[in-house]
């Protein structure tokens, strides 16, 4: 069985100052239950540099979608949030109703995974695009909003955009509707685009087209993108940085290429073994077991019962997210890796091998 490719930690170097588009700081989310609350996120912290693509990866229930929805304050009624959510330095949690409406209308937009449920079935595509454009800029006339909508439909690669304006959602395919949703976000000229599993309901070829489109929007328009997904193959060629989540916590974060070439957390490595393009063995693998219930998390590492590298300390000590490479800002939350590195600058003498 292939070992985990834990690479030596590079030398420390001062990080360049890059403007931050979105910052989650010690974010915790609680949802109400009959008699108490259920904690969904535990101290989630990460930054999204302006103009970058950041991927949130993990299995269903890991908390990636909750983190994305928290950034837009789109959580279910009754949710309680602690910590800070900063967008271009502004505290999203402290925004008034009017400020939040303007933030959602013009500064940040979100694309959800099910395009059919995101569009009104009785309204034309053009009508919904025009409404979206004018919600971001009320000074736009209907004609100006229509022209902008047609341009954005053309920009996202839909053929014959003028005709598409008169179509209804049921007349279009899933891939076409996903492009419509992206165009609906772009008519607001946002600075931040959040995508929650935007390719889940699409076939493989359409997935590739949507991902290529997102990359083009990022590179050509400078659009900052956060994309939540369970599929590492989806983000390998698009994301600048990767945030891996498990059981409501961040377990690893760093540059995507570095994390996928040399994962420093066993869960990241296990996820890669389930991804066809990144499996290092001779056969496809699955991650045995299931994630723990969020109301019955173990005292130690939440991944310990499913991990091939677990030692006693993993079951009794909950690891903190620790910076292990100051040059690339690579962090991990694995007690065993941290103990074997001897700190943030020491190299690992030998890789961890599966039993």
- Residues present in the chain in total: 355
The residues pairing with 167 across neighbouring beta strands, listed in sequence order, are none
CB 178 within 8 A of CB 202: yes
DSSP letter assigned to residue 235: H
pLDDT at 279: 58
The residues pairing with 194 across neighbouring beta strands, listed in sequence order, are 110, 226
Question: Taking CA 62 as the corner, what is the angle to CA 60 and CA 65, rounded to the nearest 5 degrees?
Answer: 80
CB 2 within 8 A of CB 281: yes
Q: How confident is the model at residue 276 (pLDDT cuts 50, 70, 90)?
A: low
> Is the pLDDT confidence value at 244 over 50?
yes
DSSP-assigned states of every residue in 30-74: EEE-SSSEEEEEEEEEEEEETT-EEEEE-STTSSHHHHHHHHTT-
pLDDT at 340: 64
pLDDT at 31: 95
User: 60, exposed or middle or buried, with CB in 10 Å at 0-12, 13-18, 19+?
Assistant: exposed
* Residues 298-320: tens digit of each pLDDT: 999 999 999 988 888 899 988 99
Is the torsion defined by CA of 229, 231, 232, 235 positive or negative? Answer: negative
DSSP letter assigned to residue 108: E
Q: From edge to edge, which strands make up the β-sheet containing 192-196? A: 108-111, 192-196, 224-229, 53-57, 241-246, 249-255, 330-332, 322-325
In terms of phi and psi (left: phi > 0; alpha: psi -120 to 50; beta: otherwise), the region of 26 is left
Mean pLDDT of 22-46: 95
């Amino acid at each position: 069985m292939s070992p985990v490719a834990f690479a030596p930690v590079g030398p420390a170097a001062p990080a360049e100052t890059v403007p931050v588009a979105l910052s989650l700081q010690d974010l915790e989310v609680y949802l109400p239950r009959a008699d108490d609350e259920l904690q969904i996120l535990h101290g989630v912290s990460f930054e999204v540099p302006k103009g970058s693509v950041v991927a949130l990866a993990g299995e269903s229930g890991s908390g990636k979608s909750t983190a994305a929805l928290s950034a837009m304050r789109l959580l279910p009624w009754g949710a309680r949030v602690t910590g800070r959510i900063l967008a271009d330095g502004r505290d999203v949690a402290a925004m008034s109703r009017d400020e939040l409406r303007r933030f959602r209308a013009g500064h940040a937009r979100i694309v959800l995974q099910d395009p059919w449920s995101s569009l009104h079935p009785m309204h034309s595509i053009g009508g919904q695009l025009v409404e979206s454009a004018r919600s971001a800029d009320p000074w736009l006339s209907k004609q100006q909003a229509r022209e902008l909508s047609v341009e954005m439909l053309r920009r996202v690669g839909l053929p014959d955009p003028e005709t598409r304006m008169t179509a209804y959602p049921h007349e279009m395919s899933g891939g076409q509707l996903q492009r419509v949703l992206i165009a609906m976000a772009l008519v607001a000229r946002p600075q931040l685009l959040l995508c929650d599993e935007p390719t889940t309901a699409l076939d493989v070829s359409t997935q590739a087209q949507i991902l290529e489109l997102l990359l083009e929007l990022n590179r050509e328009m400078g659009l900052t993108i956060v994309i939540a997904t369970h599929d590492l193959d989806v983000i390998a060629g698009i994301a600048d940085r990767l945030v891996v989540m498990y059981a409501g916590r961040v377990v690893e974060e760093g540059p995507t290429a570095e994390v996928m070439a040399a994962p420093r957390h066993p869960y990241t490595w296990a996820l890669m073994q389930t991804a066809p393009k990144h499996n290092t063995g001779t056969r496809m693998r699955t991650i045995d077991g299931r994630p723990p219930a969020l109301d019955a998390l173990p005292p130690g590492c939440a991944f310990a019962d499913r991990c091939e590298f677990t030692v006693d300390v993993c079951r009794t000590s909950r690891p903190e997210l620790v910076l292990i490479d100051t040059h690339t800002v690579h962090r991990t939350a694995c007690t065993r890796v941290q103990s074997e590195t001897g700190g943030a600058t020491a190299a690992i003498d030998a890789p961890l091998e599966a039993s």
